[in-house]
Structure 1
Amino acid sequence: MKYVSFFLVLAIAVSLAVVVSLPIGQIPPLAPLLDPNHGFWQNSISEDQLAEEEIDLENLSAPVEIVYDKNLIPHIFAQNDLDLYRAQGYVTAQHRLWQMEFQTMAAAGRISEIVGPVALELDRMTRRKGLAYGAELGLKYLQEHDPETLALVEAYSDGVNQYISQLDKARLPVEYKILNYRPEAWSAYKSLLLLKYMSDMLVGDRDLEFSNLRKILGEAKLDKLFPDFPKENDPVIEAERIWDFTPIPVTKPDSLAYPNDELVIEPLPQPTEGTGSNNWAVAGKKTKNGNPILANDPHLSLNLPSLWYSMQLTTPEHSVKGATLPGALGVISGFNQDIAWGVTNATKDTRDWYKITFQDESRKAYKYGNEWRPTDFRIEEIKVKGEDPFIDTVVYTHHGPVVYDRTFRSNRQDVNFALKWTVHMGSNEQRTFLMMNKAKNHNDYNEALNHYVAPAQNFVFASRTGDIAMRIQGKFPLKWPGQGKFFMDGADPLMEWQGYIPNEQNPSTLNPERGFVSSANQHPVDKSYPYYVFDNSYEHYRNRRLNRRLREMEQITVDDMKALQFDDYNLQAAEALPILISLLGTHKSDSPEAEKYLKELKSWDFFADPNQKGQTLYSVWSSETFESIWRELLANEPPVLRPNTYQTIDLLTNSPTDSLFDVKGIEGIETADYHVRVGFDSLLVAMAKWENEEGDYSWANYKKTTIQHLVPNFKSFSAPNVYTGGGSGILNATGSRHGASWRMVVEMGSEIKAFGVYPGGQSGNPGSKFYDNFIPIWANGEYLNFDLRTPENQEEMLFKTILK
């Protein structure tokens, strides 16, 4: 115990050293923080030492039993749903209260309340995107259309608030003590806000950059560099799928007048490269035991406390287990006695931009067709720690909030851009997961998904009766080809979405002949799907590696699926490295360093294992080469984006003399080999510097995977330099800050066998032994047993608590 206390003192000291660099008004009072009875010392005690046999909880209709296993995973046994979710709220708050509140404050644009003016611009952007507005509409939807779900969400909130009311200063999470604030009451609104936060994390748009590229490149060259479909399209829904429905006609206007503005504004933050996921299910005809096996590993930011919190939820009617989101009800990715399911990001364009023309400087009306429509004003009061509140006025149109205007990110009178987003339309995603937790078959799975709007997800499914399925679900606008790719004129009714694709016409498949379903953030469909589909960020490598392996494999076992989740094969490198070496020719052939690196590259087996050096060398060489190719394009003042890696490699392979490789600032005509040599020269410089300063350039040491505390400055609460392989575009998509945030494998036999792990621990307390104890297991590609438990199964029990 003395060592735990020592390291926690060290953590606090380091954190305070960082805080001291802030204005004096942000430094917490030191006396309460160092108080031995109530200060951070009290956070060095782990949960099993604080366990209580009985806890009084109001509003329960019957006692609730909670059995914790040796990893602090709670198994909640209640007699009805209201008691179950009230207990889930209470238990989750016991272990993750600070995280729950911090994430919802981020989603509401309230971080300035905690850290001061340094977060003001972030809060303004969050509010202007309308996340809180979307959550308010979601709450209104529940109040008007689904009081049953609202009652369950309110029961969860009651459980959280009863824990907060019992929380004394000693047990207050350490982040509250360091940042000097107290938890506030939870609410149903906050649970819904959390789901909007996930939408914002996963949804992107590139309308701004594509509008600029259209001016710079012209339509023909733009279409060449950013095609709707790649040459090798291995989509989520198998290409053999026959679409047995009559699509709704979508008419493209004969003439289109796009705004011709010079769009020199900062784009919205986009999902970080590497954010994605894998999921799949294999049919019994391909498995050793004849049972379907389902696997899911969402790729998100690697943070502490972990995004996920594992839990089993049981009533006499159902028992479900898996990964929950602290703050939301039920299990998000998991299984019950009859089915298993998992999610990946579907990368669908549900966010578009419209230029708004106001009638005058008052902005009380805007042009739409031949009329002037009234606007709404939303006053956003942003509280700022240590300063007066900041008042921001956001104008709302029927398209959505005007995010960019003369008061934000632009000083031009004519810059008024509104964001249209399905998050602003009122929805009931919480009901989807509550229904999925109880689902018994494929019909129940589909019924649950009919309530789901955003963010768009690929929902994989497997049942104990043998079905496997995949459905791409969200509320998807009906668009004519090309719509939403560029900024649109908000005054032109022809630019409106033409409705929404019916749920039953969203891409889906059930028991395909090939014996598996899978998704890895690639194109959802092939060209036969009758609705417009486009995005520049689709995956092109993980999906092909995954599907090739699933096609090859027979007599599949759970261990095979675990190994596939941890697969480090770099398909991109396997395809691109021979081209790079060929185009390099004899360049630098007299350099001993070049000879050494090329020898290592040529002998590399394309696996990005942690001890591999070839992966490091390829990563540097390829990124420097791609940077050289698109440097002039990216140098334009208006923001643009470069073609994706797949298209770049295709150019290198099949069109090495294309005029796109020419560099205008250099005499003569450059071709692909010029950029490959530039990239290799940069590799030599980078590796000389690395070897001089760091020495070892094996892949794990080079990429330095870090699982970071949600407050980046709290480095002592983070886990740096985790020894593990993988990377972007690889099934084991573990980069420096992103990767598999949760891994789950479930075999749906007569006796369900389940395994799971995530890079963190059940506790949100950095002083607890359960804070990060899963990380070594996760880093090695190992798993915890996740089988369902009964109240009578006391195996490996850590402790038990009765809520009454």
Structure 2
Amino acid sequence: GELASMLGDEYLSADIYLRTWRIHDISKKITEKMDLKTKKIMEAFCQGINFWIDETSDDLPLEFRILGIKPQYWQPSDVVGYARMLAHELQSSWKAEIIYGAVAQFFGMNKLAEIYPGYSETQPKISEHLKKEETKIVYDKILENEFFIRDLLHFRSPNIGSNSWVLSGALTETGKPLLANDPHLDFTQPARWYEMHLKGGRFNVSGVCIAGIPVPIIGQNETCAWGFTNSMVDDVDFFVETMHPDNPNKYKKGNEWLDVELIKETIPLKEGGDTTVVIRMTHHGPIISDIHPLLKGQETAVSMAWTGHWLTSEIEGFFKLNLMKDWEDFTEATSLFGVPGQNMIYADVHGNIGWRPAVYIPLRKKGESLIPRPGHDPTYDWFGKVPFVEMPYLLNPEQGYIVTANNKIIDNTFQYYISGLWADPSRAQRILERVQSLDNATVQDMKSIQLDVTSLFAREITPYFLATEAGTERKNLKEAYRLLKNWKGEESIKSSAALLFHSAINKLIRNIYGDEMALLGKHYLEAFIGLKYLHSRSLRDILKKNKSTWFDDVRTGKYVESRDEILKRSLEEAVNELEDRVGPNPTSWQWGNEHSLTHPHVLGKIKILNWLFKFNVGPFPSGGSDKTPNAGGYSFNKPFKQTAGASMRRIVDFSNL
């Protein structure tokens, strides 16, 4: 929340928004409650950073010199704050709350039910007290701020995720476990991860760390190894608060009027001086709607509950992972992780393999919800977290393997609501398909799976396009049908069909959802597509049912389009666009030529600086997509530039630890 002090007063609104998330405040509180051993390590780590700052004060890195700023001294709460900012980056349910809330409010619950995976009538309804004009401003402002900050810090991409799997020795050539992990994050320059071998005192551990965290986040020690994937937990709820008509600092809870807590925040400015803002807090959390000055003093307000506001112990958890000796130590370590929610896989030298979700899951009195909840009704409040002892886990499963790829982690018999944000199952299904086919698995087999570019999603959706062929199509449209007929869903760099398919899918999504989303405002279609896992599952569902009001183009008046009309239109538009952009010869339509990745630097956006200093690294042709094990998620607004993917890949071979 100090961007304005470095980059200028125009970043003040972003600072206010970040302060409202309370990341800096909760980081200080977490640091205060740390155990003494952890705090000493953190203090020593910060002393090392600060020594380097002093040592290089006359020769700072180029970025500092260009911006005319000096690095500030670090303290332990900065390390915690950095970890909590990662939780903000990996948090995605804020977007669902806004998009689904807007759809429900402006188009009705029936319209929402068609695109809300797993929707049921028992879920919370949008409060009848909402005023469309006020909440529309809230939704718009949150989207504006989130996109601005995520653009600045290079984590706007919706294509975050991860793959991990572990095989027991019964399935490997050596008789020892194999563990594989590749986190999917936004590409950045400098790199996200750094290899580390930390040896000294109690530590002998290697793996990868993120700059600013003192130990490996993913790695192995002398006896154990572990990996992460995002558990996709729904850890944010927005509450529509009823404010007192005569006092903006009172809000309703049941039959009572409670006082809001007023917190003053002082934000420094670049040109000197500072500004003070007041953040209002309810028992749910901060009033996020106050980020827009027009909404202050209104009779409705929107507050935010986030598990990131809870006091958690992830730093201690990282240290315990680094030092663990067995499954019991692993279990203790995972119990300390609250946010961001992770699936942790495990293996050890004794041949054990396992999985535990490392996350705090809020208990909701009225079940699941991906839309704002009525704040005045206490029955919708959170009331604690799911007890760790009741969380599911796996230890040495009979099948001899465990696969996680942001997919649904537990069936519907589990008594608590975890999430509705699960990934499209394509990646997990393909990894599972490959793992189940293995006999005497090797490290090379693990590499092959990590580099697999086969999309089961494409295999499922392609027949819908093929069913629209009439037999009278012109040359390149006819060729498009031929390409798709002969395609098996392999999204290799040289594949013409892969480029055609993604061009058609891009058009299909715009043609199904774009007309309604455009009525909501500027960022809504992009934000909806940013719910990539949800919109993919929605697309599968409505294509299969062949019945949805979303197929109709609201811009064509009384005429109602059918599913197949929209599919055909989308394929035709894709062919036309490829002819214009790539050329009339389909042999030149190659996925890797259009689907490229660049590792962007924050200053690389400034063309003259990038030309002078080569901040950005790339582009490189790339295969795959967000639906393949070799993840290659791309920008919807700038197709098909890859924005996220495997930020690192690890394979741990317990026969050669």
Q: 1:335 to 1:253 in 2, by over 3 A?
A: closer
Following TM superposition, by how much is the alpha carbon of 1:523 offset from its aligned partner in structure 2, in angstroms?
1.3
Work out whether 1:120 is the aligned partner of 2:120.
Answer: no
Once the two structures are TM-superposed, the CA of residue 412 in structure 1 deviates from its matched residue by 7.5
Report the alpha carbon displacement of residue 742 of structure 1 after superposing the two structures with TM.
1.2
Cα distance in 1 for partners of 2:331, 2:408 equals 22
Q: Determine the C-alpha separation between the residues in 2 that align with 1:376 and 1:557.
A: 58
Q: Which has the higher contact order (CA 8 A, sep 6+)?
A: 1
Matches within 5 A, 1:443-482: 443-480=328-365, 482=367
Equivalent position of 1:321 in the other structure:
206
Q: How does 1:610-649 map to 2 (within 5 A)?
A: 610-637=493-520, 641=528, 644-649=535-540
Q: Does 1:689 align with 2:580?
A: yes
Q: Deviations over 1:498-522 (max 9, x none)?
A: 3210112222111111111111111
Give the equivalent residue in structure 1 for 2:153: none
Contact between 2:469 and 2:481, CA under 8 Å: does it hold in 1?
no
| SS at 1:534 equivalent | coil
2:79 alignment counterpart: 191
| Residues 373-522 of structure 1 mapped to structure 2, 5 A cutoff | 373-386=258-271, 389-405=274-290, 407-408=292-293, 410=295, 413-480=298-365, 482-522=367-407
Distance 1:663 1:475, change over 3 A: same
State the SS of the aligned residue for 2:605. coil
From 65, 88, 97, the counterpart of 1:207: 97
- Kept in 2, the 8 Å contact 1:354–1:487? The answer is yes
**Counterpart in the other structure of 1:733:** 631
* Residue 166 in structure 1 maps to residue 25 in structure 2: no
- Summarize the Cα distance change of 1:164–1:526 in structure 2 as closer, same or farther, 3 Å threshold: same
Tell me, in whole angstroms, the C-alpha distance in 2 between the residues paired with 1:576 and 1:655: 13
- From 112, 126, 130, the equivalent of 1:260 is 130
Q: Relative to 1, partners in 2 of residues 1:649 and 1:580: Cα closer, same or farther, differing over 3 Å?
A: farther
SS in structure 2 of the partner of residue 680 of structure 1: helix
Aligned to 2:598: 706
Residue 136 (structure 1) shift? 1.9
Q: Is the 8 A contact 1:593 1:684 kept in 2?
A: yes
Q: Distance in 2 between matches of 1:293 and 1:286?
A: 9
Specify the code of the residue in structure 2 equivalent to 1:297: D
Q: What root-mean-square deviation, in Å, do the aligned CA atoms of Structure 1 and Structure 2 show?
A: 2.7
Counterpart-to-counterpart distance in 2, 1:118 and 1:712: 20
Cα offset, 1:218, TM superposition: 4.6
Please report how far the alpha carbon of residue 361 of structure 1 lies from its aligned counterpart in structure 2 after TM superposition.
Answer: 6.3
Moved more, 111-120 or 274-283: 111-120
Corresponding residue for 2:409?
A: 524
Alignment of 1:527-542 (within 5 A): 527-536=412-421, 538-542=423-427
For residues 369 and 488 of structure 2, the distance between their equivalents in structure 1, rounded to whole angstroms, comes to 42
Contact 2:27 2:77 in 1 (8 A): yes
Contact 2:186 2:643 in 1 (8 A): yes
**1:310 CA drift (Å):** 1.1
What is the deviation of 1:416? 1.6
Could you tell me whether the CA contact under 8 Å between 1:318 and 1:337 is conserved in 2? Answer: no
Contact 1:406 1:416 in 2 (8 A): no
Secondary structure class of the residue paired with 1:175: helix
Between structures 1 and 2, the one with greater helix share: 2
SS of residue matched to 2:423: coil
User: For the residues of structure 1 that align with 2:249 and 2:172, how far apart are their CA atoms?
Assistant: 64
TM-score scaled by length of structure 2: 0.88
- Of residues 668, 673, 679, the one that matches 2:570 is 679
The Cα offsets for residues 204-257 of structure 1, whole Å up to 9 and x where unpaired, read as: 222232233334555455445323399xxxxxxxxxxxxxxxxxxxxx999996
Q: Please, which moves more after superposition, 483-492 or 467-476?
A: 483-492
The corresponding residue for 2:618 is 720
Distance 1:401 1:720 in 2: 41
Aligned to 1:656: 546
Distance 2:445 2:645 in 1: 20
Q: Report the AA paired with residue 65 of structure 2.
A: K
Q: Which amino acid aligns with 1:720?
A: G
Q: Structure 1 residue 131 and structure 2 residue 23: aligned?
A: yes
2:368–2:419 contact (8 Å) kept in structure 1: no
The equivalent residue for 1:243 is none
Secondary structure of 1:291 counterpart? coil
Please tell me whether the aligned partners of residues 353 and 484 of structure 1 are also in contact (alpha carbons under 8 angstroms): no
Instruction: Say whether the 8 Å CA contact 2:408–2:422 is kept in structure 1.
Output: no
Cα distance in 1 between the residues matched to 2:413 and 2:421 = 19
Partner amino acid, structure 2, of 1:670: E
Paired position in structure 2 for 1:598: 481
1:176 is matched with 64
Bigger shift: residues 181-190 or 221-230 = 221-230
Corresponding residue number in structure 2 for 1:743: 649
Are the counterparts in 2 of residues 116 and 387 from structure 1 also a CA contact under 8 Å?
no
Contact 1:478 1:501 survives alignment (8 Å): yes
Task: Tell me the distance in 2 between the aligned counterparts of 1:660 and 1:486.
Answer: 19
Given residue 478 of structure 2, which amino acid in structure 1 is its aligned partner?
E
Q: Which residue of 2 aligns with 1:331?
A: 216
Q: What TM-score comes out, normalization by structure 1 length?
A: 0.72
In the alignment, is residue 156 of structure 1 matched against residue 62 of structure 2?
Answer: no
The alignment partner of 2:242 has SS state of: coil
Task: Give the number of the structure whose alpha-carbon radius of gyration is greater.
Answer: 1
Which structure 2 segments of 5+ residues have no match?
A: 148-155, 634-641
Q: Aligned-pair distance for 1:674? A: 0.7
Larger mean Cα displacement after TM superposition, 133-142 or 542-551: 133-142
Could you tell me how far apart the structure 1 residues matched to 2:381 and 2:164 are?
A: 34
Q: Is the 8 A contact 1:344 1:458 kept in 2?
A: yes
Match of 1:770 in 2: none
**Letter of the 1:744 counterpart:** R
Q: Closer, same or farther in 2 for the Cα pair 1:117/1:698, shift >3 Å? A: farther
User: How do residues 10-409 of structure 1 correspond to structure 2 at under 5 angstroms?
Assistant: 109-142=1-34, 146-170=35-59, 172-205=60-93, 206-216=96-106, 218-219=108-109, 222-228=112-118, 259-262=129-132, 263-264=135-136, 265-266=139-140, 267-268=142-143, 269=146, 272-359=157-244, 363-386=248-271, 389-405=274-290, 407-408=292-293
Asked whether the equivalents of residues 236 and 305 of structure 2 are also in contact (C-alpha less than 8 Å), the reply is yes
Matched pairs, number: 615
Note the C-alpha offset of 1:683.
0.8
Q: Distance in 2 between matches of 1:360 and 1:626?
A: 43
Q: How many Å separate the matches in 1 of 2:541 and 2:71?
A: 53
| Deviation digits for residues 427-451 of structure 1 (CA, Å, limit 9, x no counterpart) | 1100001000011111110011111
State percent identity of aligned pairs.
25
Whole-angstrom CA distance in 1 between matches of 2:405 and 2:131: 36
Q: Distance in 2 between matches of 1:597 and 1:613?
A: 9
The offset of 1:464, in angstroms, is: 1.1
Structure 1 pair 487–610 and aligned structure 2 pair: CA distance change class (3 A):
same
1:196 alignment partner AA? R
Q: 1:122 to 1:150 in 2, by over 3 A?
A: same
1:712, 1:495 → 2: CA distance? 45
Question: Which residue type is aligned with residue 655 of structure 1?
Answer: K
Larger deviation, residues 206-215 vs 425-434: 206-215
Specify the SS of the correspondent of 1:711: helix
What's the CA shift string for 1:669-713, capped at 9, x where partnerless? 421111012102211231122125999542122022111113342
2:369 & 2:29 partners in 1: Cα distance?
24
The answer for unaligned runs of 5 or more in structure 1 is 1-108, 231-251, 753-804
